[in-house]
Structure 1
């Protein structure tokens, strides 16, 4: 282990500048996880020049930061600045603004409400998958990541926003959100870089954020003037804002919508992207998953009622978000002097909670780097520390989109695997890259082999 001791505070391991920066430049997501696992889950202080955050990964420490002492660790500081430039002040904020948005948005993401969207969601996903038939007939490979993003985003837009967003507007929104999610990588790695200086990704980010505003603001304005009385998200938001605040502030509703879109789409799309490489590398898992879907769904259409019966698929998804948690890092800022695991943390310090690291700690996970859905088998009845697994965060700020994920992701997978046998045409070692969520740097090209069900 390449650590020094920090003499200014009691106890943390310190990764000095000349070791930390080259590793983070090379492969930031993987190397950050290694820094935590090499320290055995102990707190690590990263020396990145003027910026020295604490890396937190032990479940006991995670529990303190995200749950028991959460008011002392807020979503403020330089790590949040890149995201706030597009999401504004809503559920990704803090204080009264966050509490207000959470109160309004949470009813739209309960398990019951999401279940009520299931039939429409299943129809939309089936239509999206049907559009891939031409690729299957001609043998032309599809970009797996791009297709997952398209299917998920079209579903989110149609289900959550109803008919207020036309298909052509949806097609315009999808790449702009993807650009915002990917172009902030440099600022996430080096958040101390001044905003007066353009860094890689800034130009693309600002252009995409501008286009999002050009689409979303008129949408909100029209909805505010013409309440249709429906329960799609835009109308529900505006009515809730008027009821709570006495008015529907254009900027606030815009921030709420953009935050919802991110919470609902990014998590699912990126997790589904990783799946195809995993299934290629684990043909036994692929075969069992195909067998279960064939048995449960058969030759009919995939319906929400099938999801509860797809038990192995649920295990695969659990393992997928263990190894590739969409919220790969959770930044916080201490607002008062405190201690974590006996380490003194001064007010103003940046703390990085890392699910990507916690999910790989050998103290809590057997063979943590292996993809093994069987670890989630109900009969095993073994679960690690409650805060050893938190792919959607934890505590009061837990991600609103998790119920949507566990319905939408199975519907997408079951639709694809009941119609095709996807084959990865360019298998390779994938490099996780940072962004709003963790995604593979390389493209995953899929050849869709049609399933011949004729007897």
Structure 2
């Protein structure tokens, strides 16, 4: 609905009838840039559209003000491109080992839930980066479905954000059960680390060292860990789940992608040195994030009144920014509904408005996990396609579910055929 409104208005600001506070849709890249970068201090991550998420995320790096600044200062050095590059060897080895476990599906012919398997693969890939081995594989497998339940059960609160929490809505109980399940994994780990501190350069260890002795350190570490895990692991898994239906619907893209992986990686294993050569793989992933951005809604509240391209915005107004809408504006994207990785061929991006494409947000609040995604996602895709030919089984058409992050409403059921040399 938001995407269609943005297209009908050709990117002009739209006022929405959505409750007691004024609500505006900003979809034009100029307006997006104004909110996320130019006048970002006036547009806060607060308000009725943000409130449902705060029951999960708490006060963290995904907030605003002093708490956000403190968390970002601690975490920023661990998510730079340079630092993430130092993790590439370990991540590639982990991916290769984990993808090898999929051989059982290829041998048996059994299919699997791509959403669950992608989440488990991403978990294995990022757990060492985020938690330094403190989080077991079993515990990681409890986190992923809990995040999925939380994202799906929040739908009614997103559609009726003005409804007070004294009024129970469908999904409220499931959401709080999911938050409890996440806390059952994260809080014992936090308490154990605070009771028995040890040095380390992983995200969790650095957070514990920096927060030790602050008085509210247990809750603060918990909130940051929950937020970072969601941004780095859950979003990556959700994005990769969408890849397989899109490749099935676009066999020419799938064939070219597989051919590149065969040429660059061969029979594997995939190595960090392969990444610069996986150019088409990168283009496919960029286009994937254009049509299916995991973070599809960035709500803000105007702290003070503002004038945006001649439109007065009242103090306290709710502002909705959604990559899903901006990524579909006809003025900036030819055939916006088509899945076409060629949009991201070398040179094309330089001719595009900087904020016509922003799957990771922008400005000071740009997602910390973007470099981790650009490392992990192509490693995972290349590792799978170097060994198997994925086959979609049943389902579709696959449509976005009403959820906190963009995920398929339908189950993506995938089978794997083993690749033999010369078969492609």
TM-score normalised to the size of structure 1? Answer: 0.90
Equivalent residue in structure 1 for 2:264, among 292, 296, 310: 296
Cα offsets for 1:178-219 (capped at 9, x unmatched): 212221111111111211122111111111111222221121
2:200 alignment partner in structure 1:
230
* Pair 1:382–1:166, CA change in 2 (3 A): closer
Question: How many angstroms apart in 1 are the aligned matches of 2:282 and 2:52?
Answer: 33
1:404 alignment partner in structure 2:
372
Displacement of 1:266 in angstroms is: 2.1
1:113 alignment partner in structure 2:
83
Question: How many angstroms apart in 2 are the aligned matches of 1:71 and 1:381?
Answer: 28
1:324 alignment partner in structure 2:
292
Equivalent residue in structure 2 for 1:173, among 116, 129, 143: 143
Equivalent residue in structure 1 for 2:127, among 154, 157, 166: 157
Work out whether residues 144 and 234 of structure 2, in 8 Å CA contact, stay in contact via their aligned partners in 1.
Answer: no
Displacement of 1:166 in angstroms is: 1.8
Q: Secondary structure at the match of 2:351?
A: coil
Work out whether residues 319 and 371 of structure 1, in 8 Å CA contact, stay in contact via their aligned partners in 2.
Answer: yes
Question: How many angstroms apart in 1 are the aligned matches of 2:223 and 2:370?
Answer: 20
1:315 is the counterpart of 2:283: yes
1:145 alignment partner in structure 2:
115
Q: Secondary structure at the match of 1:301?
A: coil
Displacement of 1:143 in angstroms is: 1.1
1:10 alignment partner in structure 2:
none
1:453 alignment partner in structure 2:
421
* Pair 1:164–1:382, CA change in 2 (3 A): closer
Question: How many angstroms apart in 2 are the aligned matches of 1:350 and 1:381?
Answer: 31
1:395 is the counterpart of 2:374: no
Question: How many angstroms apart in 1 are the aligned matches of 2:337 and 2:229?
Answer: 31
2:236 alignment partner in structure 1:
268
Equivalent residue in structure 1 for 2:333, among 362, 365, 368: 365
Q: How does 1:30-179 map to 2 (within 5 A)?
A: 31-50=1-20, 52-179=22-149
Question: How many angstroms apart in 2 are the aligned matches of 1:94 and 1:308?
Answer: 35
Displacement of 1:382 in angstroms is: 4.6
Equivalent residue in structure 1 for 2:253, among 285, 305, 317: 285
Question: How many angstroms apart in 1 are the aligned matches of 2:64 and 2:214?
Answer: 21
Q: How does 1:242-261 map to 2 (within 5 A)?
A: 242=212, 249-261=217-229
Could you tell which deviates more after superposition, 286-295 or 268-277?
268-277
Cα offsets for 1:354-379 (capped at 9, x unmatched): 11111111111111111111121115
Question: How many angstroms apart in 1 are the aligned matches of 2:160 and 2:315?
Answer: 21
Work out whether residues 277 and 427 of structure 1, in 8 Å CA contact, stay in contact via their aligned partners in 2.
Answer: no
Q: Secondary structure at the match of 2:277?
A: coil
Work out whether residues 120 and 159 of structure 1, in 8 Å CA contact, stay in contact via their aligned partners in 2.
Answer: no
Displacement of 1:240 in angstroms is: 2.1
1:413 is the counterpart of 2:381: yes
Cα offsets for 1:303-330 (capped at 9, x unmatched): 1221111000011111111111122111
* Pair 1:382–1:214, CA change in 2 (3 A): closer
Work out whether residues 266 and 437 of structure 1, in 8 Å CA contact, stay in contact via their aligned partners in 2.
Answer: no
Q: Secondary structure at the match of 2:132?
A: helix
Work out whether residues 238 and 248 of structure 1, in 8 Å CA contact, stay in contact via their aligned partners in 2.
Answer: no
1:193 is the counterpart of 2:166: no
Cα offsets for 1:211-260 (capped at 9, x unmatched): 22222112111111222222222211111224xx7567111111111111
1:9 alignment partner in structure 2:
none
Gaps of 5+ in 1: 1-30
Question: How many angstroms apart in 2 are the aligned matches of 1:81 and 1:127?
Answer: 40
Question: How many angstroms apart in 2 are the aligned matches of 1:178 and 1:123?
Answer: 27
TM-score normalised to the size of structure 2? Answer: 0.96
Question: How many angstroms apart in 1 are the aligned matches of 2:117 and 2:351?
Answer: 34
Equivalent residue in structure 2 for 1:444, among 387, 412, 415: 412
What is the RMSD of the two structures over their aligned residues, measured on CA atoms? 1.6
1:22 alignment partner in structure 2:
none
Work out whether residues 132 and 205 of structure 2, in 8 Å CA contact, stay in contact via their aligned partners in 1.
Answer: no
Gaps of 5+ in 2: none
Question: How many angstroms apart in 2 are the aligned matches of 1:97 and 1:179?
Answer: 27
Question: How many angstroms apart in 1 are the aligned matches of 2:124 and 2:110?
Answer: 22
Cα offsets for 1:3-40 (capped at 9, x unmatched): xxxxxxxxxxxxxxxxxxxxxxxxxxxx2110111111
Work out whether residues 395 and 410 of structure 2, in 8 Å CA contact, stay in contact via their aligned partners in 1.
Answer: no
Displacement of 1:274 in angstroms is: 1.0
Work out whether residues 19 and 162 of structure 2, in 8 Å CA contact, stay in contact via their aligned partners in 1.
Answer: no
